[in-house]
Amino acid sequence: MWCHCRMVYLPMSYLYGKRFVGPITSTVLSLRKELFTVPYHEVDWNEARNLCAKEDLYYPHPLVQDILWASLHKIVEPVLTRWPGANLREKALRTTLEHIHYEDENTRYICIGPVNKVLNMLCCWVEDPNSEAFKLHLPRIHDYLWVAEDGMKMQGYNGSQLWDTSFAVQAVLATNFVEEYGPVLKKAHSYVKNSQVSEDCPGDLSYWYRHISKGAWPFSTADHGWPISDCTAEGLKAALLLSKVPKEIVGEPVDTKRLYDAVNVIISLQNADGGFATYELTRSYPWLELINPAETFGDIVIDYPYVECTSAAIQALIAFRKLYPGHRKKEVDECIEKAVKFIESIQESDGSWYGSWAVCFTYGTWFGVKGLEAVGKTLKNSPTVAKACEFLLSKQLPSGGWGESYLSCQDKVYSNLEGNRSHVVNTAWALLSLIGAGQAEVDQKPLHRAARYLISAQMESGDFPQQEIMGVFNRNCMITYAAYRNIFPIWALGEYRSKVLLQQGE
C-alpha cells in the first residue's frame, strides 16, 4: 500500500482491534451530543458505516466494498473476538504496535502526516499512558499546529520547507541577481545541506516495508525524514546549481559523496515502466483501489507514477551528469531515457499532462515540458512539446495570464477560474513552460502578454496577491502553498528577462 494509506490504517487497526474506549467524561458526553444528530445510544452503526455527506462524496464505495466490510463485520469479527481467533488478533496487535513504534522513532515522533501522528500518539497512550513514547509525542504536536484568522489549524504535513527552499533557490538564480541576494542564497544553501537524510532507517527495510533513504531529501525537514522522489530531485538540483556559485557567496558546496547518495536514491526509485512514484516504488496494482474506503479521496491505496516526479528526476540527473559525467554513466543514461519515454507515453490527447500528484494541468504540463526540455526537446524538434505549447496557448486568457480552477484536479478536465480570471501561479507555470519549449523563437507575443500580467499583478509592497488555492493531494484535498505566489512569478520573470528580453537586446 501507499505509505500514507498504510500509515493511517495501521493505528486505526490497532485501536479497533483493541476495542479501546477511554473514560466517559463530561467532555466526551458533550462531544457526542454535538457531533451526532440522534442520541448516541440510538446510532445505527451498521447504517452509519456506509453514510457519507454528499458534499464529501468524491469516491463512492463500489458494491464489492459493502459486501467485504459487511462480511468482515458479521462473519470474521466474531471469530477474532473468541478463542482461538483472539490469540491470532493479539499477535497481530503486537506486530502492529511494533510498526507504529518504528514509524514514530524514525520520524522523531513527527510521523509521516498529521492523521497518523495523532492516532499513533493515542496508540502509545493506550499501551501505557506514562510511556516514554507518549511523552516524546507531545512536543511534536506543535510541528503541525498554526493559528489562522479563524482559529487553530492543523497542517496537512509538518511544512513544505525543503520543497519551497529548493524552488526558491532556482527562482532567485534564474534572475541572475546572485550577488544582490547572496545572503538569502547562503542561508537557503545551509538549509538544503542540513535537511538531506544522512542514513537509511535501521533494520531489515523489507520487513518494515521501507525504501532506502540515505541521500534523499524530504518534503519538509530532516527530522521527518521520509524520502520523496521529486523532493530528492529538487534538492539535488538546488545543490548542484549552488555548487556553481562562488563559495564566498553561498558557502561550501554539498560533499560529492552526498550527491552520489542522492543519485543512488533517484535511480533506485524508477519503476519498470520508466516512471517515478512519490515515496517508494509502485509495489502493487491499481485494482486495489476497489478497497479504497476513503470516500473523500481518490488514488490513495498504492503509489502511482506521476509526470511531476518523473520530470524532476530527469532534470536532476541531467544536471548531475553535466558536472559528474563519469559517475554511473550507463545507469544514469538508461534511467533518463526510460523516464523520457514514460513522460511522452502519458501525455493527454490535447497535449497536456495531468498533474495528478500535486496540482493540475498547468503544473503537470510545466513539468512535462521541463523534463523534455532538459533532454533538448523543444517546440521546433519535438511534436510532443509542440502539442503541449498548443494546449497552453489555447488556454491563455485575454488578460495575458492563465487561471485554472481546483475543479481540474477533481474532474480531470481543464477548468478556468470563475469569471475567467487569471492567477499569478498558473501564469508563471505556463510562461516557464513556453520559454523552456522555445516559444520565443516562434512567436514572442504570448510571452510578453503573460509577463505584463505578472508585472501588473505585483503589489506596492513587492508581494504578489494570495489568490485561489494552488495545491492538491489525492485529487480532492486542497492545500495552500503560501510561498508559491512569490516563488513562481519571480522565477518566470527571471527566465523571461534572461532568455527573452536580454537575448533580443532589450
Q: How far apart are the first and last CA of the chain?
A: 54
Q: Looking at residue 483, what is its pLDDT?
A: 96
Positive or negative: CA dihedral 394, 398, 404, 408: negative
444 near 380, Cβ under 8 Å?
no
Q: Looking at residue 358, what is its pLDDT?
A: 55
CA–CA distance from 22 to each of 27, 122, 129, 495 (Å)?
12, 10, 12, 58
CA angle 492, 498, 500 (to 5 degrees): 85
Burial environment of residue 344 by CB neighbours within 10 A (0 to 12, 13 to 18, 19 or more): middle
Q: Residue 487: which H helix or E strand, with range?
A: helix 484-496
Q: Where are the beta strands (DSSP E) in 346-482?
A: 471-473, 477-479
The three cell numbers of residue 359 are: 496540482
Q: Give residue for cell 483501489.
A: 289
Please count the other Cβ atoms lying within 10 Å of the Cβ belonging to residue 498: 14
Closest of 141, 133, 69, 135 to residue 97, by C-alpha: 133
* pTM for this predicted structure: 0.95
Q: Looking at residue 59, what is its pLDDT?
A: 86
Q: Looking at residue 293, what is its pLDDT?
A: 85
Q: How many CA atoms lie within 13 A of 240 on its CB side?
A: 20
User: Which residues 6+ apart lie within 8 Å of 131 measured at CB?
Assistant: 124, 125
Exposure string (b/e) for 367-388, b if CB count within 10 Å is 16 or more?
A: bbbbbbbbeebbbeebebbbbb
Residue type, 443: D
Whole-number Å distance between alpha carbons of 202 and 213? 11
Dihedral pair phi/psi, residue 416, rounded to 5°: -75, 155
Exposure string (b/e) for 65-90, b if CB count within 10 Å is 16 or more?
A: eeeeeeeeeeeeeeebeeeeeeeebe
Q: Residue 151: which H helix or E strand, with range?
A: strand 151-154
Low-confidence ranges of the chain (pLDDT < 50): none
Q: Supply the residues annotated as catalytic.
A: 230
